[in-house]
Amino acid sequence: MPATPEQPWSLPRIDRERCTGCANCAELCPVQAVAIVNGIAEIVRPEACTFCDRCERFCPEEAIGRPFVIRFASPAARGQ
Ligand code: SF4
Ligand code: SF4
């Protein structure tokens, strides 16, 4: 999913090709961080997002989701 450059990496990303504007995410977001704008979901209150993943879990199109990174512990941290 393409990232919006100004958006913090940890916020949910929205795939505008997949999103149908059904509003499940907007209705289920506990802090109104996501809303439907011009028929497509958009993160409108990024500062409010708690990364709870409700939008991701209940999107029927898998159009919204939180990115994640995998970090490997250093050998020192693993005791090697
Ligand atoms: S639940 Fe999914 S398809 Fe529906 S508006 Fe939100 S992102 Fe778009
Ligand atoms: S992760 Fe939770 S708080 Fe953030 S936009 Fe999705 S439903 Fe709202």
Domain ranges of the chain: 1-80
At 27-77, the pLDDT tens digits run 999 999 999 999 999 999 999 999 999 999 999 999 999 887 677 887 777
**Which CATH code is given to the segment(s) 1-80?**
3.30.70.20
> What local confidence, expressed as pLDDT, does residue 10 receive?
82
Residue nearest to atom 7 of ligand 2 (CA): 29
| Nearest ligand to the C-alpha atom of residue 66 | 2
> What local confidence, expressed as pLDDT, does residue 35 receive?
98
Question: How big is the chain by its Cα radius of gyration, in Å?
Answer: 15
80 vs 74: CA distance, rounded Å = 9
Ligand 1 centre and the CA of 40: distance in Å?
7
**Apex 54 CA angle, 36 and 31, nearest 5:** 60
**Which residues line the pocket of ligand 2, CB cutoff 6 A?**
12, 29, 31, 33-34, 49-55
23 vs 46: CA distance, rounded Å = 17
Find residue 43's DSSP bridge partners.
Answer: 34
